[in-house]
Structure formats: C-alpha cells, structure tokens
C-alpha cells in the first residue's frame, strides 16, 4: 500500500478496475485517507453498505510503521487530522 500511495503522490495516475471487483473504489478510499498530499481534495465516500470499512481503515492505520508514515510525508498535523477522520467514520 505504501508503494501505491507513493505512486499516487508522483503524478496523475489512471486507475481502472478490470474485473469489476470495486478495487478502484478501494484504491481511491485508501488514497483519500492515507495520502497527506490530498488534504482538502479527497472526494471519495465510504459506501454505507460496507459497515466493516471503518474497522479495515483503522487496521491499516495500526499496521503502518513510523518508517512508512515518514516515507509518505506524514507530519504530526496530518496524523492528528487522520485520527479524527478515522474516529468519525
């Protein structure tokens, strides 16, 4: 996921779902939540039908090491805003 987010930070990226498995939705949600360079630009919403998604996002957050966060350009301010977003979903 860190490699994916770093790629998303590089430039405009085209994403498409080849198999109709909603993978593009998941990719956009991950990018919106965990990419600090999208602050204020995120437009993806979590479908109400996926009640486990908040748990999944919190699990991903818990699995990211400080090294990963540094690689992605997180600062304390972004992390505080992210934690608030994770709590509110």
CA distance 6 to 2: 6
Q: Domain residues of the chain, as ranges?
A: 2-88
Q: What separation in angstroms does the CA of 14 have from each of 11, 21, 24, 66?
A: 10, 17, 10, 28
Burial category of 68 from C-beta neighbours within 10 Å (exposed 0-12, middle 13-18, buried 19 and up): middle
**Cβ-based neighbours of 48, under 8 Å, separated by 6 or more:** none
- In the predicted structure, residue 66 carries a pLDDT above the cut 90: yes
pLDDT tens string 7-56: 888 877 777 777 766 677 788 888 888 999 886 666 676 666 667 888 88
């Amino acid at each position: 996921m860190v490699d994916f987010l770093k790629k998303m930070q590089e430039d405009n990226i085209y994403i498409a779902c080849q198999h109709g498995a909603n993978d593009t939705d998941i990719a956009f949600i991950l990018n919106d939540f965990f990419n600090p360079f999208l602050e204020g630009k995120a437009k993806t919403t979590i479908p109400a039908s996926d009640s486990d998604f908040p748990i999944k996002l919190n699990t991903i957050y818990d699995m990211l090491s400080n090294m990963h966060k540094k690689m992605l350009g997180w600062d304390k301010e972004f992390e505080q805003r992210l934690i608030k977003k994770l709590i509110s979903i």
